[in-house]
Amino acid sequence: MEQLLNRDPVLSRVAAAEEVLWINPKLQPVKDGLRDLPLGMEDIRDAQARLARFAPFIRTCFPETAPRGGLIESPLTPIPRMGELLEARHGASVPGKLLLKQDSHLAIAGSVKARGGIYEVLKHTEELAMEAGLLTEQDDYSKLATPEMREFFSKYTVQVGSTGNLGLSIGIASAAVGYKVIVHMSVDAKQWKKDLLRSHGVQVIEYEADYGEAVKQGRAQSDADPMSYFVDDENSKNLFLGYAVAALRLQEQLAEQGIAVDDNHPLLVTIPCGVGGAPGGVTFGLKQVFGDNVHVFFSEPVQCPSMLVGMATGLHSKVCVQDVGLTGMTEADGLACARPSGFVGGVMEPLLAGEVTVEDRKLYVFMRELLESQDIFLEPSACAAFQGPVELLKQPEGKAWCETAGLTAEKLANSAHIAWATGGALVPADIRAAYEKMYL
C-alpha cells in the first residue's frame, strides 16, 4: 500500500476518499501521443461507415430513430443557467460556453453505451451474415430485420457483464437482431435496469459480487459455448471505436452552432468514467479530430476512482481501488468498476489531461440543479460530468495546469466546456422521483 501511494502525491488523498483534481504527468502533444497507438482515424471512419450502412436496419427496428435517418445521435445543448448555478453555489469559474452533450438521451439505450454497445452488436451481426453469404455491403441492411434473418441469428448468443447501461445497450440491440441474449449483472446494477432487460426477452443473471466478477463469469460461460459471442467492455476495440465516432458527430454539431475549436478557442470536456471504455473511446476520437485544442478530463466517484488509480500508479488493470483502501462502492452504478481497463489506460496515458473525483452526495446536488436551471434530467452517475467545470479552475493544480497548457484568461474566455452526460433518459418516473429526494 505504501509503495502504491508513493507513486503520486495525489494518491494519498485519493486513498482517503477525498475529492481531488489529478493532472496526468504523462500527457503528450497529440502528434506524439497518437503516433504509436494501435488504432487511427481510418478505423474511426470505418466504424462511421458501418453505422451508416446499418441505418436502414436501425430505422426499421427502432422507429424513434427515423428523424435522424436511423443514426443514433444526441443533442449538444447550451446550458448557461447551469453554469451560473455552478459559479454561485460551488465557487466554480466557468468561463466561455458551458454545454451538455446529451448521450443521456441517445435513442434505444438512453446512455453513452448506445454508441459502443450497439456498434459492437452490429459489427458482429454484419460479420456473421457476410460469412453465411446472406449480406453484402451493397445490400439494403433493412433486410436484416426480416423473420428469415431473425431465425438465422436466433442460433447465436450474445453475452456481456455489466453494472447496468452497457447491459441495456447490448441486450436491447441484440434482442432486436434476434440473438439469444444473456446479461451478467453485478450487485451494483439497479433493479429497474434488470426489469427493462427482461421485458425485451433478455436473460439476466444476477451476482452478489462486483462488476469484475460479473465479467469473469460471463466470459467463462460464453467461452464454453461455440455459438456465443462475449462483449468485453474492458478490452474491446470494437466498443472503443463505436464510442470514438462521437467525435466526428460532435465536430458537425459544434460547426452548426458556430463554436470554433482552435488554438484561441480551446475545447474542454469532462466525461464520467467507470471501467474506461466509453470515455476512453470518446477521448481517442476527440484527440484525433481536434488535436491539442481539446483537453479531456475523466470524473469518478471518490470510492471507486479505478482509472485514476490505474493511471497514477502506472499499473492500470493490475491494480484495483481496494488495493489503496477504498471500498469500490458507489451509488453511481454506471461507474462502479473497481479495476480499470488496461487497454484503455494504456491508450489514455499520453492523451488524457487529468481526472477529478466526486462524492456521491454531490451527484444528486448537481442532478437537482440541472433540473432547476435547465429542466433536464440525468441519472446521478452522469452528473459526475459537472465536477470538471467546478474543480478545474478553482484548484491550484488546475490553475497551474492551465498555465502549462497555454490556456490564458483570454483563451479560456473563448473556450467551450462540454459536460458529457452519459445516461438517464430511460430512468422510470418513480425511480427519478426517489432520486430527486436523495441527500435532502
State residue 135's pLDDT score. 98
Domains 2-40+63-109+243-436 and 112-237 fall in the same CATH topology? yes
Sign (positive or negative) of CA dihedral 406, 407, 411, 415: positive
Residue 32, C-alpha cell as written in the block = 506524439
State residue 248's pLDDT score. 98
Do you know the residue count of the chain? 440
The 3-class SS string of the chain reads CHHHHCCCCCHHHHHCCCCCEEECCCCCCHHHHCCCCCCCHHHHHHHHHHHHHHHHHHHHHCHHHHHHCCCCCCCEEECHHHHHHHHHHHCCCCCCEEEEEEHHHCCCCCECHHHHHHHHHHHHHHHHHHHCCCCCCCCCHHHHHCHHHHHHHCCCEEEEEECCHHHHHHHHHHHHHCCEEEEEECCCCCHHHHHHHHHCCCEEEECCCCHHHHHHHHHHHHHCCCCEEEECCCCCHHHHHHHHHHHHHHHHHHHHCCCCCECCECEEEEEECCCCHHHHHHHHHHHHHHHHHEEEEEEEECCCCHHHHHHHHCCHHHCCHHHHCCCCCCCCHHHCCCCCCHHHHHHHCCCCCEEEEECHHHHHHHHHHHHHHHCCCCCHHHHHHHHHHHHCCCCHHHHHHHHHCCCCHHHHHCCEEEEEECECCCCCHHHHHHHHCCCC
State residue 235's pLDDT score. 86
Tell me the CA distances in angstroms from 13 to 8, 16, 316, 387, 397, one per residue in order.
10, 5, 19, 17, 14
Sheet bearing 157-162, strands edge to edge: 203-206, 180-185, 157-162, 228-231
State residue 306's pLDDT score. 98
Closest CA to 201 of 220, 183, 228: 183
State residue 24's pLDDT score. 97
State residue 11's pLDDT score. 95
> What is d(CA 16, CA 184) in angstroms, rounded to the nearest whole number?
31
> What is d(CA 191, CA 167) in angstroms, rounded to the nearest whole number?
12
Mean pLDDT of 197-221: 93
Mean of per-residue pLDDT scores for the chain: 96
pLDDT at 317 over 90: yes
State residue 211's pLDDT score. 85
State residue 212's pLDDT score. 86
State residue 83's pLDDT score. 97
> What is d(CA 350, CA 285) in angstroms, rounded to the nearest whole number?
14
- Find the helix packing angle between 360-374 and 80-90, rounded to 10°: 130
Q: Which residue has the cell 488496461?
A: 342
Contact 273, 333 (CB under 8 A): no
AA letter at 408: T
Count the neighbouring beta carbons within 10 Å of the beta carbon of residue 291. 16
Mean pLDDT of 30-34: 95
Spell out the residues 6+ positions from residue 230 whose beta carbon is closer than 8 angstroms to its own: 159, 160, 218, 219, 222, 223
Contact 188, 135 (CB under 8 A): no
**Domain residue spans in the chain?**
2-40+63-109+243-436, 112-237
The CA dihedral of 32, 344, 296, 254, to the nearest 10 degrees, is 90
pLDDT at 210 over 90: no
State residue 4's pLDDT score. 84
Mean pLDDT of 137-166: 96
Summarised one tens digit per residue, pLDDT across range 332-354 is: 988 999 999 999 999 999 999 99
pLDDT at 164 over 90: no
Q: How confident is the model at residue 320 (pLDDT cuts 50, 70, 90)?
A: very high
Mean pLDDT of 20-34: 97
CATH placement of domain 2-40+63-109+243-436: 3.40.50.1100
pLDDT at 217 over 90: yes
Summarised one tens digit per residue, pLDDT across range 235-291 is: 899 999 999 999 999 999 999 999 999 999 999 999 999 999 999 999 999 999 999
Least confident of 11-15, 17-21, 312-316, 332-336: 332-336
pLDDT at 440 over 90: no
pLDDT at 359 over 90: yes
Strand partners of residue 203: 182
CATH placement of domain 112-237: 3.40.50.1100
State residue 2's pLDDT score. 83
| Burial status of residue 30 (CB atoms within 10 A of its CB: 0-12, 13-18, 19 or more) | middle
